[in-house]
Chain A
Amino acid sequence: MADIVKVGMADLKVCKAPDGLTTLGLGSCVGVAVRDPSTKVGGLAHVMLPDSTTISQNGNKMKFADTGIQLLVEEMIKLGANKSRLVAKIAGGAQMFAMQNKSDLVQVGKRNVDACKKKLAELKIPILAEDTGNNYGRTVIYYPETGDFVIKAVGKNERTI
């Protein structure tokens, strides 16, 4: 029986197929799903903020796009993934509230997505698919076996990217 491992906010987990990974209610955070299609090792990070270098309270590496994705890849390699084979899918980064005149923090969804893309590019991990932006929350489930990334949102049809 395969398990679905839950990933919390500012958290990351890795697993091997047939197990899967899920994170519930992504808002402006970004779910970064990575797998090695050959060894079927997968990982999911729930990234909260774009950049660890601009914040002094940066002890929790899993919270940031730059350090979180780095750590995710390291954990996957420990579990048998080969870095050169890794591929990614991302979801989330919504703008939950329509604030007109506000600071950077309100745009944090988009900044999170951009930061995740930048880090993945730096690690030479291609992004095969994404479902980002908009103004609604997403629950995601990732299956390293197939690479299916299932996305659920309130009042919308479930889709797989």
Chain B
Amino acid sequence: MSEMNLEQMTETYYDVLKEIGNIGAGNATTALASMLQCKVDMKVPQVRLLDFKDVGSEIGGEEQIVVGVYLAVEGDITGSIMFLLPVDAARHLVEKLMGMQMSGDTFGEMEISAIKEIGNIITGAYLNSLSMMTNLKILPSIPSLSIDMAGAILSVPAIEFGTMGDNILMIETQFTDDMEMNGYFILVPDIESYEKILSSLGIG
């Protein structure tokens, strides 16, 4: 087991994540625009290192209902990634993608697979940019989806970060088509993979 911890790694890793976030969000925006067949803008992503206790308020409170898409990552690095979207933004994207209004408040089978697809595209775009920058092979699993309280969904990556320290690293991206949407992206490589990522970029 490595002696490094997340806080020590953070400064360099921050910059790396920011760059990955930038390129990834750019790719994701392009993919989203072609999928939705409309113009999508994005702002420069914000990378944040948060204390566990602040994670919930960062995305609008622990009880805010969000959609979480979670994938395991294998290949040269192992870990997991998560993409989070407030439920109203998810509904907006689904309606846009399917070209119709959702009948009720709940997501049916069709809507859920649409959301998974959106999650797939967005996380795929991030992973592609990470893979290209590092020359590491990164294979995502099939996405798994949960619609629940933000605190509960974030407990999953928080626990993974919890094995390394007391913070969670989060990339916030704002997408806009005709609605402003905040998407949150969380990449959790296991500790050996952190070092692989950094050393493949020549900064390990």
Contact = CB atoms under 8 A, between A and B. Distances in A.
A105 to B, nearest CB: 6
Contacts of A56: 1, 3
B158 A9 contact: yes
B72 A55 contact: no
Contacts, number: 116
B56 A63 contact: no
Given A9-B55, A48-B158, A97-B70, A137 B149 contact: yes
Contacts of A9: 52-53, 55-56, 151, 155, 158
A27 B155 contact: yes
A84 to B, nearest CB: 32
B200 interface: no
A96 B55 contact: no
Contacts of B145: 97
A19 B152 CA distance: 25
Range, interface on chain B = 35 or more
B62 A96 contact: no
B204 interface: no
Secondary structure of the B contact surface, majority rule: mixed
Contacts of A59: 166
Contacts of B61: 24
B150 interface: yes
A18 interface: no
Contacts of A135: 146
Interface in A114-161: 135-139, 154
A60 B167 CA distance: 11
Contacts of A28: 152, 155-156, 159
Contact of A98 (B62, B144, B152): B144
Contacts of A66: none
A63 B70 contact: no
Contacts of A48: 52, 155, 158-159, 162
A15 B144 CA distance: 39
A53 interface: no
Contacts of A29: 155, 159
26 contacts: A8-B56, A10-B162, A24-B56, A25-B152, A26-B151, A26-B152, A27-B152, A29-B159, A48-B159, A57-B165, A57-B166, A59-B166, A96-B68, A96-B146, A96-B148, A97-B68, A97-B145, A98-B144, A99-B144, A101-B141, A102-B72, A102-B141, A139-B62, A139-B63, A139-B149, A154-B149
Interface of A: 8-11, 24-29, 48-49, 55-57, 59-60, 63, 94, 96-99, 101-102, 105, 108, 135-139, 154
